[in-house]
A and B are shown apart, each in its own frame.
Chain A
């Protein structure tokens, strides 16, 4: 449905997007991640035909956006960052305008407007001017406008940014409901959102794609992938804490033990495995044989935020961080 190849955008000397390529199929929800200024919005603006690429191409539903921008724009529903809408209009007149410009006529027009209005729950505010609406409602108006023509491709720039947890949940549910029949791209800063709605994540940094895969495969790149977290009641005695740590470190396949925190007489550790090893059984057996009073024992699936940080930061900063953490574990 979406096929972009070698997309480049330069603003003067600054290269905002530097050779980005990926494809999105129907049924996929692609989470577009990256630090601020990484080029997420710029990439989306090129796919939607708002910005002209310096080089490369974007195909949507078989149409090249550079050659047939209007056909591409017909196929896409786009929610720009901040969900801009004409503030003096009411949702009713605004959606009417979008319907007219999308070529919806007669009973079809009314049916589609009624459908999206009930879908995003705008019924109560249809005759209020948009600038008097709360942020959550404004976002819903933008979403309603984006999905009004039931587009095959939906592109959303930070659809949940600035919403409260309930509103975020609603928007995510809506995206999930639509995902089966559409190709969806959404950008986000929120890593939990990737788990909640995305089937695939692309991480972009300084204009280039640095990771592309399912949330699970990305998480597997984390240092914490297959690490074991354990909390033991030690009564707060420092010699007992030290003993536990020493025992854990003595295990085969254990690279190191980190993050000891002591709370109400409980000590928590994260035990890092040597690469590729699984150590949960070993740790569990050790705890049983030593008769530790274990509060919690858990396998870490990996941390997306850590993967995000390590691959989006310049190499120097990442290395320094790793050194500091290993120093603390000694």
Chain B
């Protein structure tokens, strides 16, 4: 009886205050966060370095011209290794900085759920990575100018690269929630992402394949970013690979929320 009455007053009050929905909260957080990247030189430095290094890797190390092939394999094959150092530089500030500046107390006493805050911040970082990725379009123009590449494969590789960045960012988000020190967040994220990358690397696989049971080798390979990314970059978007990245991101963001919640009092 009494509970029914209180629910009633709640709903009237909520509608009177024009309560922002969970999506509004996520969207507002994301916009602020993404805008925040461009308020400091960090965003510009990141984008310039990303474009320079992809250029150097593709044309110098990757032998883009020497290969004489109209594809972007030499461009995309370096992305995992590039992300290994660049993505943690973006993700390290996600939560560390909020805690260091004390703004986490402001953020988490605004009328949004913790989930909306975690998701909004992650989406902002992911959108930022997406912007950097989109700015590599001159390479795509170049390869189309020089030859007739399979643009479907290139699109798939872009999607794969974007998913890979999302996976790294989600892991980085969780690590960033652990410490208020950005340098520590950076280093730990690099190490963990390195593990995720390497679990599918031929070196690891050849070490294992001699003695380990096939199931274990498959499991470890299954965890690998590299195996998944390579598959997508070849133009094969397998639903299982999409589910893998979606699950990984969801789990890492859930972990972020749990860690933020547990650590906010400290």
Contact = CB atoms under 8 A, between A and B. Distances in A.
Contacts of A69: 113
A71 B105 contact: no
Interface residues of B, number: 34
Interface string A54-94: 00000001110000111101101010111011111100010
A288 interface: no
Interface string B237-266: 000000000000000000000000100111
A245 interface: no
B109 A80 contact: yes
Interface-central residue, B18, B20, B106, B109, by most chain A CB under 10 Å: B109
Contacts of B24: 100-101, 103
A70 B46 CA distance: 36
Contacts of A73: 109-112
A73 B103 CA distance: 16
B25 interface: yes
B105 A45 contact: yes
A245 to B, nearest CB: 54
Contact of A76 (B20, B31, B109, B112): B109
Given A63-B10, A84-B105, A101-B20, A51 B264 contact: yes
B45 interface: no
Contact of A86 (B10, B101, B112): B101
A101 B106 CA distance: 12
A74 B112 CA distance: 9
A86 B103 contact: yes
Given A101-B20, A102-B20, A82 B102 contact: yes
B36 A101 contact: no
A68 B20 CA distance: 14
Contacts of B109: 48-50, 73, 76, 78, 80
A69 B22 CA distance: 13
A45 B109 CA distance: 9
Contacts of A61: 13
B188 to A, nearest CB: 24
A68 B102 CA distance: 24
A69 B101 CA distance: 23
A70 B261 CA distance: 15
Contacts of A97: 28, 32
A50 B108 contact: yes
B39 interface: yes
Contacts of B102: 80-82, 84
Interface in A18-73: 45, 48-52, 61-63, 68-71, 73
B14 A51 contact: no
B37 to A, nearest CB: 10
B39 A89 contact: yes
A103 B20 CA distance: 5
A191 interface: no
Contact of A85 (B9, B103, B110, B266): B103
A84 B19 contact: no
A147 B257 CA distance: 28
B63 to A, nearest CB: 41
B151 to A, nearest CB: 39
A103 B19 CA distance: 6
Given A89-B36, A98-B110, A101-B111, A62 B18 contact: no
A80 B101 CA distance: 12
B175 interface: no
Interface in A111-157: 129, 145
B28 A62 contact: no
Nearest to B265: A51
Interface of B: 6, 9-10, 13-14, 17-20, 24-25, 28-29, 31-32, 35-36, 39-40, 101-103, 105-106, 108-113, 261, 264-266
Interface of A: 9, 11, 45, 48-52, 61-63, 68-71, 73-74, 76, 78, 80-82, 84-89, 93, 97-98, 100-103, 105, 129, 145
16 contacts: A50-B108, A50-B264, A70-B19, A71-B14, A73-B109, A74-B19, A80-B106, A80-B109, A85-B103, A87-B101, A97-B28, A100-B20, A100-B28, A101-B110, A101-B112, A145-B106
Given A50-B105, A62-B10, A74-B17, 7 more contacts: A9-B265, A50-B109, A62-B9, A80-B102, A87-B101, A101-B29, A101-B111
What are the 9 A-B residue pairs with the smallest beta carbon separation, nearest first? A84-B102, A103-B20, A88-B39, A73-B111, A80-B105, A74-B111, A100-B28, A84-B103, A48-B109
